[in-house]
Structure 1
Amino acid sequence: MGVDYYNILKVNRNATDDDLKKSYRRLAMRWHPDKNPSSKTEAEAKFKQISEAYDVLSDPQKRAIYDQYGEEGLKGMPPPGSQSATSYANSSRGPSNFQFNPRDAEDIFAEFFGSSPFGFESMGRAKSMRFQTDGGGTFGGFRGADGAHRTHTDGASSTSGVQLRKAPPVESKLPCSLEDLYTGSTKKMKISRNVIRPNGRLAQETEILTIDIKPGWKKGTKITFPDKGNESANQLPADLVFVIDEKPHEVYKRDGNDLILHYKIPLVDALAGTTITLKTLDGRDLSVSLPDVVTPGYELVVAREGMPIARERGKKGNLRIKFELLFPSRLSPDQRISIRRILGG
């Protein structure tokens, strides 16, 4: 097949448009000649290869011809052992009437980063997720081409000398059960957005985003996918932000890292003692003994049976059981006499 464009761009043969863009951004920033002054000749050759690979694979017609006929067919050359290039290109086996004119590498680069990308480094930032807690802390982050951390306020860049502003973040609630936040879970979110193709046309793209919910995350935790909003010609795409929203639970209520449980107990058990069995959020049976007299408003604390603490791996809050006494609706005369005798009233 000659040159392996898929290998040059570090993608597989099923790569999507988004996969191609991500890989091109990363490789082009790494191998641009201006970023490699000490090895400019080598960098320039690699940069041109990367640009040509993206030019071919991002164009449906070029990619189809390349997949079927290889580099020789794409460029109108006969395969090894065949006839001349002209007869091959015009034959039923070749891509007739197709002329491959590779685009200028710097033109492709400018579409992604502007004419002065290294002066506006936010365009070169990595496409990774960012997590922010309700208290303003950060679970993870992304770094720009220079390694510097970025924040929500970043976003000015340049295309052909024109200053572009970044669209405001688009926030969406992500409902999670208390079980999700206790054990951790994975959510798949399908999004549709407008993207600008390399030919300048606007198209709709569908993508599945994967969100790994970590044990102990709280309501208000933010998961940010940089630049996953709609694209337009006049501004940088918005970040897409999912905000954790905790769904009510029928048994437990969360209070920070603690879990609260309201438990109704018959008066006889409250006085005589008992053992209760609770179903935990991860499906365990938890036995709790009540050796003492349970009085109205009594609260029992079970250590380390609360929510996982996200920032302290292996640690948990407490379970706080608040008891409500259930009194009998009526007593017989004999029962009344017995109670008075026992309690000494």
Structure 2
Amino acid sequence: MAAKEDFYKLLEVDRNASEAEIKKSYRKMAMKFHPDRNKDNPEEAEKKFKLIKEAYEVLSDPKKRSAYDQFGHAGVDPSMGGRGGFSGAESFSDIFGDVFGDIFGGAGGGRQQRSNVQRGADLRYNLELTLEEAVGGTEAVVKVPVLVACGECGGSGAKKGSSPVTCSTCHGHGQVRMQQGFFSVQQTCPTCHGSGKQIKDPCSKCYGQGRVQETKTLNVKVPPGVDTGDRIRLAGEGEAGLNGGPSGDLYVQVQVKDHAIFTRDGANLYCEVPISFPTACLGGELEVPTLDGKVKLKIPAETQTGKLFRLRGKGVKPVRGGPVGDLLCRVQIETPVRLTKEQQSLVEQLQASLSGGGKQHSPQEHGWIDGVKSFFDKLTG
């Protein structure tokens, strides 16, 4: 018996060739020794192609290649090299599918049967929450229109007492093979649309679809700390799958409504607190709202409008963990309106006192105009 030719020489690659280089060479050799291209001597071409196929199956498998590199042909089990040898156009189509399957819609070409089982679609439900519900957590009841498995036929689509039959066009494969030149191209079966089954007597409830639309009522547990944009996944509550496939998931999308008092930024809450002019001047204490009730806030004397006061731990505990945020109160000094004559007089006395005596000075006397002028002179330089 003649010794087998070296696999690397058969594929015309170096021993350190990459997987991509081996595959590229195999494509080239497969086209070169295709029987249709060697009509003068098809038997010899077929024999050569069989050897090329054996070499590729060994060198494209990392484990087999390692054994071959160490022990040569003796290190490779011949029974793992193929599926009974090369015998005509059908076997060649299967081999060609291994190499060119990525061009025609999937690896494995004609070898692999298309799976008829399909997972159901995922669904989304928009859930509006108040700030209190989002921060403290709640349980919401939602109603979702969804496709579920038909109870009449059990999801088969066939009338009760019957069952789908194997498609007569594709014989259950879900695909048909079209010959284009020397390429064998697979396409979705036009009869069963890829399912591999035909329904001769469809169900009267779902009309052969296997699914019907219903409205599900679900209880959604909303964890504390969620915010706008967060999603809650309910596994298996989406649309029912086809041909026994698993159901999809339902994603509840959270949208937090605007609050009359608070705005949220991550774990912190913000609010504006009005204070009187005397309180701003002299200091004092006032009650401010929080999501847990009112708390007292001390205002120091000479507080300016816009000053932020931080109440630690009065914000939000993040849903993904971490410290509780704070409540930041921005004070706004209220200007008194509808003053009585007596009150106006008191304000005038205060203004006179602040300006340095009983006489009221003009802006020019205070040097305000000159000050503004000198400020802009510095800017323009």
- TM-score w.r.t. length of structure 2: 0.43
Structure with larger Rg: 2
- TM-score w.r.t. length of structure 1: 0.48
- Greater RCO, CA 8 A, separation 6+: 2
